[in-house]
Chain A
Amino acid sequence: MQGRPVDKRLRLIFAGLGLVLMVAIAVWMLQGLPEGRARSFVLGLRAERLAGLLLVGVTTGVATVMFQTLAGNRVLTPQIMGFDSLYILLQTILVAGLGITGFASIPTWSKFLLDTAVMIALGCILFGSLLGRGSRDIARTILTGVILGVMFRSLSAFIGRVLDPNEFAVVQQSSFASFGHLDAALLPVAAILTAAAVGLALSMAGQLDVLGLGRDRAVALGLRHRRVVFVTLGLVAVLVAVPTALIGPVTFFGLIVAGLTHGILRNPRHAMLLPAAGMIAAIMLIAGQLVFERLLGQASFLSVVIEFAGGLFFLYLLLKGRIR
């Protein structure tokens, strides 16, 4: 029986990823710790930020890999298809509906849960029909996604104009990515949602493998295709809502992560791909934040750099004709 060398290679890769992640976490927590009473305070702060970065990394990595499997190509991300703009639109509508005092008075986590629930429903309706048929017309799919994204964003902006400037500022705050400032109040509920969604995703890893063969072959092999498509989209909606709520929209980060994951693993099994994607994303975020925040003292640059690099990678994929 062959297949053994592959398994050995994968084990090495995971050992490597785990080691790098551990080192990154250790450096993140322990580098330049102050002495005395400030120590435990700084540690607590760092742990909080670390949890945020881990959550953002894991959700983005897992969501992108799942989404690309569903869409049947390696160029799309949920964000390119306007998933995160949808989340921001929902936030805006919520502010508009409740007014700034109402928005501030309901607990953050219940807003977040409400948004996520609506997003699951809308995401399934909007993208289920678009992606579920296994359309090979990728140019049209991308175009539709970009148009939807622009539409959601302009709708948010329009509602923002109608709101008074104070209220709009509340929304604006939540529509730009910043790894520096994350909403710590959301961490517990975000962690629970992430754990549930990732757990469910892992439990259907085998079905995702079959889904990746395209609609026809998946149906021929007995996969309940429509159901799996909708469950996948629902999970992706949750896994996009989490990072968008924590730090704001990041369009191209997932693209780099998914590209790296497939490039490194060279294995189609989601039982391997999903954990690897989560680990790779977490490593990139923690290491990147270490470099920009502690080394260069420019915490806010990370999202810019990631978006820039990711954008270039997106262009590279498009120009190389890597769209399949």
Chain B
Amino acid sequence: MIRIEDVSHSIGPARILHDIRTGFPKGRLTALIGPNGAGKSTLVRLVGRLENLQSGRISVDGHDLALTQTLELARVMAILGQDTAIASRLRVRELVAFGRWPHHNGRPRADDHARVETALENFALTQLADRFLDEISGGQAQRAHIAMCFAQDTPWLLLDEPLNNLDMSHSRALMQRVSDLVRRQGRSVVMVVHEINYAAAWADHIIAMKDGRIMAEGDPDTVLNQRTLSELYDADVQVSRHQDRPLVLHHA
């Protein structure tokens, strides 16, 4: 369980998050939804300790972020940020291999190599493993970054818009893998999702944010209704059902 208690955040005079108090359930796939600028990335970055906590408390499986060594946290959660640009020139395999760093601290063992190869395989990157990141497409690079997080092999995965740049089949493959991790291996995943029907189809738990506040949270059936979504996005949204899951229609 990730607990977030009374977390507020400001950048300069601007208040980005207002007294957020919520939790990400363990062993579930949680989707963060909401319009651009709602504060989803800020919240994920705070939980991933990429941003310093200004007020409130966050704990991951009982590890208080403020009191836990950052290396120990790296063995508990992996986080994929929205910004994936890298200055050094890396091959795909080299990037994915960095995911093992928290476990071996620079001295990889056979087991680490094996896990890297598995991660490459899982994301259909084996063919591309020796290519440089700037020599492959944006979607392939995005998959390499996600594969690195998977290679980190942590109970928690925080993914900020992992579907960016991915085509339909790779998006679906990623969602399938993620939900596999959750259902088969009991891992917990929190992801920011823009395409709301992916959240509708795969998520167990949905948190809807707007203007730095949580507007609604709960299972897909309770959150994904016409009234909440129309208010969330300030737009007319229809919700129907498909295969016993909400289906959101947003073409006017």
- Residue B205 is within 8 A (CB to CB) of chain A in the complex: no
A268: contacting residue among B71, B85, B94, B107, CB under 8 A? B94
In the complex, the answer to whether B81 meets A216 with C-beta atoms within 8 Å is yes
Given A222-B70, A268-B94, decide whether A213 and B88 contact each other with a Cβ distance below 8 A.
yes
Chain B residues lying within 8 Å of A210, measured Cβ to Cβ, are 98, 101
B73: contacting residue among A69, A222, A266, A268, CB under 8 A? A222
- How many A-B contacts if CB must be within 8 Å? 76
Interface size class of A (residues with CB under 8 A): 20 to 34
- Residue B62 is within 8 A (CB to CB) of chain A in the complex: no
In the complex, the answer to whether B85 meets A136 with C-beta atoms within 8 Å is yes
In the complex, the answer to whether B98 meets A219 with C-beta atoms within 8 Å is no
B99-110 near A? 1/0 per residue, CB < 8 Å: 101100111000
- Residue A149 is within 8 A (CB to CB) of chain B in the complex: no
- Residue B87 is within 8 A (CB to CB) of chain A in the complex: yes
Interface size on B, residues (CB 8 A): 33
Interface centre among A2, A210, A222 (most CB of B within 10 A): A222
- Closest Cβ–Cβ distance, residue A273 to chain B (whole Å): 10
Assembly CA distance A205 to B105 (angstroms): 11
Chain A residues lying within 8 Å of B98, measured Cβ to Cβ, are 209-210, 213, 217, 221
- Residue B49 is within 8 A (CB to CB) of chain A in the complex: yes
In the complex, the answer to whether A224 meets B86 with C-beta atoms within 8 Å is no
Residues of chain A having any CB pair with chain B under 8 Å: 1-3, 69, 72-74, 136, 205-207, 209-210, 212-217, 219-225, 262, 266, 268, 324
Residues of chain B having any CB pair with chain A under 8 Å: 48-50, 69-75, 78-79, 81, 83, 85-90, 93-94, 98-99, 101-102, 105-107, 113, 129-130, 152
Task: Pick 26 A–B contacts, CB within 8 A, sort by A.
Answer: A1-B113, A205-B106, A206-B105, A210-B98, A210-B101, A212-B86, A212-B87, A214-B85, A215-B50, A216-B83, A217-B86, A219-B49, A219-B50, A220-B48, A220-B50, A220-B74, A220-B78, A220-B81, A221-B99, A222-B75, A222-B102, A224-B70, A225-B70, A266-B89, A268-B89, A324-B87
